[in-house]
Amino acid sequence: MAINKLILGDCLEVLKTIDSETIDLIYIDPPFFSNRTYEVIWGDKGEIRSFEDRFSGGIDHYIAWLKDRVQEMHRTLKPTGSIFVHCDWHANAEIKVFILNKIFGEKNFRGEIVWQRTNAHNDAKKKIAVLKDCIWYYSKSETFIYNPIYAAYKGDYLESSYRYQDEKGIYKSDDMTGAGINPNDLEWRGYHPKNVGRSWSINKEAVIKLVGEEKAKTMNSAEKLDLLYANGLIEITKNGTPRFKRYLDKSKGVLLGDIWTDINNLQAQSKEKIGYPTQKPEALLERIIKMASSEGNTVLDCFLGGGTTAVVADRLNRKWIGIDQSVQAIKVTELRLNKQQGLFSKPFTVQLHKYDYDTLRYKDAFEFENWIVVQFGGFANSKQRGDLGLDGRTRENQPIQVKRSENMGRNVIDNFHSAVMRYDKALYEKNKAEQKPVGFIIAFSFGKGAVQEVARLKNEENVIIKLVTVEEIVPIAKKPTLQVEIKDLGTSKNLREIEFLATGQSEAGIEFYAWDFAYNEQQFLPTVLLDKEGKQTYKFKAGEHQIAVKVVDNEGLESLEVVKLKINRVVERN
């Protein structure tokens, strides 16, 4: 399974293709058991089918539906991996008892994260308002990745604790002693903690940071105190008591527990908002990913939704896989990822139900050859020269040749037949004797001459060459067509207002449009991510502008149209 990949499909089927013990972290936000039609968010065919499937029965059916999928997720997790399951009150108890405890085991329960996602609603006057979601946290084994998470100090704590300041910054004054008496403690600058019934408690992290872990192990308490004092990290009070200076800008914050109240749900005006009603804030996923994975680890989200998991994992230098049954979920996530891609970003792929003919037909020839050979189940030839024109081989070592063309003629068969005999004469004769194909040719279509020659070789020379069309290997569809009309709405505040109307057509049906009002021909960076109607108005300053619109159909195929505008000096009329 390739990583950094968006996959359109039922996660149960896709999960079966992922190797066991290859995933480090799974976060899922599965559809809640609300049995409400508002859970159909995108409204495309894949999502509707999923909705009807999981709610065709009651709670038992829903649990069985989700359990099958979590069982596969457990298989894909590494022994050190973890899973976070985001749910609400409708079925959180059943999910814990009948799915997670059964599959992961009660001993691997790591916590219930309570995320306060909202404040009280008006319905609190009639009943207790639901302000939280539950996120169940389980590991696969007793050894798992865990990085402590810190949150910023709250205002009242800052005011009461960080009350001092020197040339290095704001700090709080910490006690340097702990409970009990240690007979190995030494006196330092006339102060001994045993005189007050205590022992030295010296900040280990500060010492290690100054001299390293190995050197710190060899130092006694007095030597450590001298080191901290020499570096301005100890102050001595008027009564001779040493205290540690903990600077605010060096502090990690307060260690978090299982109640998270410091991450707000997305508001309508949020820059992150993409029009997905149950979209989770990036800060929430950032915290989970940092807590339970390391850079380079692989993160999986099987109910991708608005794509936040993939977007955050990509930004945090994790590998990732995102799966969803909704074509809109996959394509919106793709656009979000494109928008944050930079010079050093890792590439990613998108796997749809069908592939665009034009994209396959006219993409880089070598890239296409390698890709289609792998899709066929073979092994691509990494060499581009000295390969007799062969592009790969099957698992039984039969040669494969790829022609990225239509209507292949007889000459291709002749050349291929000759190359196959030279490639491995013994294998050629063996396959011929056993009535197996001596090789395969893959192309978009074959002409009459090629078909006749293959038939002649089989009938007269007992040589079988298999002709395989690209569409027999991967489903192909035509991408949608797109037209854009513009209308000048006049001038306001020295800006020219233009109305754009995009009309897409596809046999599969149109899903949505996206707009880039500052298109630079290098990359489509959507200003408007999700437009269901294809109608937008935008105000422009005087000058030249390029506007690009994408249309996405129900198969996930897309087309792009670019509009070039030249706005003359804008003068308002009185």
For residue 42, the model assigns a pLDDT of: 45
Left, alpha or beta for 388 (phi > 0: left; psi -120 to 50: alpha)?
A: left
The pLDDT of 137-162, averaged and rounded, is 90
Question: What radius of gyration do the chain's Cα atoms show?
Answer: 32
pLDDT value, residue 41:
44
Fold for the domain defined by 5-149+257-351: Rossmann fold (3.40.50)
CA count, 13 A, side-chain hemisphere, 150: 7
- What pLDDT, on the 0 to 100 scale, is given for residue 252? 84
Whether the predicted pLDDT of 36 surpasses 70: no
Place of tokens 């569809």: 477
The proportion of the chain whose per-residue pLDDT surpasses 90, expressed as a percent, equals 68
> For residue 376, what are its two tokens?
């066929």
Residue 523: pLDDT above 90?
A: no
pLDDT tens sequence across 428-464: 999 999 999 999 999 999 999 999 999 999 999 999 9
pLDDT band at 37 (very low <50, low <70, confident <90, very high): very low
Domain ranges, ordered by start, for the chain:
5-149+257-351, 155-250, 358-473, 478-567
pLDDT of 1 over the 60 cut = no
Assign 172 a pLDDT band (cuts: 50, 70, 90): very high
Q: What's the confidence (pLDDT) of residue 414?
A: 95
Residue whose entry in the numeric block shows the structure tokens 């692989």:
298
Structure-model confidence comparison of residues 158 and 397, the more confident one: 397
d(CA 235, CA 11): 59
Where does the pLDDT of residue 39 fall: very low under 50, low under 70, confident under 90, or very high at 90 and above? very low
Q: Which pLDDT score is estimated for 386?
A: 53
Q: What is the number of alpha carbons within 13 Å of residue 316 lying toward its C-beta? A: 24
Produce one character per residue of 107-122: b if its CB has 16 or more CB atoms within 10 Å, e if not: ebebeebbbebeeeee
Supply φ then ψ for residue 390, to 5 degrees: -90, 140
The answer to whether domain 358-473 has CATH 3.40.1350 is yes
* CA–CA dist 148, 531 (Å, integer): 40
Q: So what CATH class is 478-567?
A: mainly beta
Question: 202 or 34: whose pLDDT is higher?
Answer: 202
